């Protein structure tokens, strides 16, 4: 199949005047180019991922680079055979990535952790007294993470401050390395860690996506797949002999990187499910959810 589409992943922390007006303007731009995806805009900047034809996405990049409000923005680009989003969503948000600190929010334009290139990151991971912290949600790190990383049991990025409060003492005095998908969460995460008194904090520049594309590292020591917020769900990162699958089908226990949502609508939990088990046992994730579905079937009227 011809890869005549592209997927763009990008963000920029920059103060925007009249963000509501910019939402409408930006939506019109994307619609004119036939782009699909999810774009969050706020007073602190823009955070987005879109898909479209090569011509359309190239024009989109050029437009943002030539606009003083978004000049200097960096795009991470993947080839595709078609759209990976069902529709276009452009929203105004108080934060372009929700950390939920309110008035105590951190500003990545003021300070963040030291930025490490992929090669520097690979070397730093194997240093002494180092702790690598995954800055993503639990369902993302379950699919893939750096070897030996600490993966907080959190369901939302805004839960991280609470997690840190319970683990701060075990992290004191250590060299902290943080990473996320494309880098945006680590901008705030590393700044927050510095605000909390941690002195040696670094972040992976460009995130996992950039690390996997770098010819010097080729994704070495990233285990599993990188979770992405589009129809692909998971993408390869590691192209070295350290590549491995870290997730398992919850029903049979076989290695599996295939995420499915529970068929019980009140649950909808993401879980790993191989094709064979889905065909023979369905997409329900637990006996409790199976009982809920059975109870609903008993009370629904028949045609």
Would you kindly state where each structural domain of the chain is located, as residue ranges? Answer: 5-92, 106-235, 259-299
Q: How far, CA to CA in Å, does 221 sit from each of 122, 155, 185?
A: 8, 24, 21
Which listed residue (30, 151, 180, 226) is catalytic? 180
pLDDT at 296: 85
Residues in Cβ contact with 296 at an 8 Å cutoff, skipping those fewer than 6 apart: none
User: What is the predicted pLDDT for the residue at 2?
Assistant: 64
| Cβ-contact 216, 121 below 8 angstroms | no
Give the CATH number of domain 5-92; options: 3.30.70.100, 3.90.230.10, 3.40.50.720, 3.40.190.10: 3.30.70.100
The pLDDT, as a whole number, for residue 202 is 98
Q: How much of the chain exceeds pLDDT 70, in percent?
A: 98
Domain over 106-235 is classified CATH 3.40.50.720: no
Give the Cα separation of 119 and 220 in Å (integer).
10
Q: Rounded CA gap, 198 and 196, in Å?
A: 6
Q: Distance (Å, rounded) from C-alpha 233 to C-alpha 157? A: 18
Give the pLDDT of residue 21: 97
Compute the distance between CA of residue 259 and CA of residue 271 in angstroms, rounded to an integer: 5
- Asked whether the beta carbons of 145 and 242 are under 8 A apart, the reply is no
User: How high is the mean pLDDT of the chain?
Assistant: 95
Residue 68 has, within 13 A of its CA and on its CB side, a CA count of 1
Annotated catalytic, 180? Answer: yes
Residue 268's pLDDT is 94
DSSP-derived secondary structure letter, 218: T
Tokens 């920029």 appear where?
A: 12
Contact 87, 268 (CB under 8 A): no
State which residues of the chain have pLDDT below 70: 1-2, 299-303
Retrieve residue 191's tokens. Answer: 């700044």
Q: Model confidence over 158-182: pLDDT tens digits?
A: 999 999 999 999 999 999 999 999 9
- Please enumerate in sequence order all residues whose Cβ is within 8 A of that of 116, keeping only pairs 6 or more positions apart, or say none: 124, 177, 202, 203, 204, 205
The sign of the dihedral angle between the CA atoms of 32, 35, 40, 46 is negative
Q: Residue 260: which of 237, 283, 292 has the closest Cα? A: 283
Which pLDDT value is given to residue 76?
Answer: 97
Tell me, what DSSP letter sits at residue 36?
A: E
Nearest Cα residue to 46 out of 79, 20, 11? 11
Structural Rg of the chain based on CA atoms: 21
Q: What is the pLDDT of residue 301?
A: 59
């Amino acid at each position: 199949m011809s890869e005549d589409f592209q997927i763009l992943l990008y963000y920029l922390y920059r103060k925007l005047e009249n963000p509501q007006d910019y939402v409408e303007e930006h939506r019109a731009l994307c619609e004119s180019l036939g782009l699909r995806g999810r774009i969050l805009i706020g007073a602190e900047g823009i955070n987005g991922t879109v898909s479209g034809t090569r011509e359309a996405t190239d024009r989109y990049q050029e437009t943002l680079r030539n606009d003083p409000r978004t000049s200097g923005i960096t795009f991470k680009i993947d080839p595709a055979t078609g759209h990976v989003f069902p529709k276009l969503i452009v929203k105004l948000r108080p934060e372009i990535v929700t950390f939920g600190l309110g008035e105590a929010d951190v500003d990545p334009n003021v300070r963040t952790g030291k930025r490490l290139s992929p090669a520097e990151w690979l070397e730093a991971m194997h240093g002494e007294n180092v702790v690598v912290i995954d800055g993503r949600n639990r369902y993302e790190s379950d699919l893939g993470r750096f070897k030996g990383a600490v993966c907080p049991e959190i369901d939302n990025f805004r839960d991280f401050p609470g997690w840190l409060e319970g683990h701060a003492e075990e992290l004191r005095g250590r060299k902290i390395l943080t990473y996320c998908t494309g880098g945006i969460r680590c901008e705030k995460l590393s700044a927050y860690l510095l605000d909390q008194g941690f002195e040696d904090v670094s972040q992976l520049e460009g995130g996992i996506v950039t690390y996997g594309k770098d010819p010097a590292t080729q994704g070495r020591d990233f285990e599993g797949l990188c979770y992405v917020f589009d129809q692909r769900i998971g993408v390869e990162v590691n192209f070295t002999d350290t590549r491995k699958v870290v997730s398992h089908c919850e029903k049979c226990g076989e290695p599996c990187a295939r995420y499915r949502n529970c068929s019980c609508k009140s649950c909808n939990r993401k879980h790993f499910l191989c094709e064979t088990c889905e065909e023979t046992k369905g997409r329900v994730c637990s006996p409790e959810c199976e009982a809920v579905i059975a109870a609903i079937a008993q009370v629904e009227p028949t045609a």
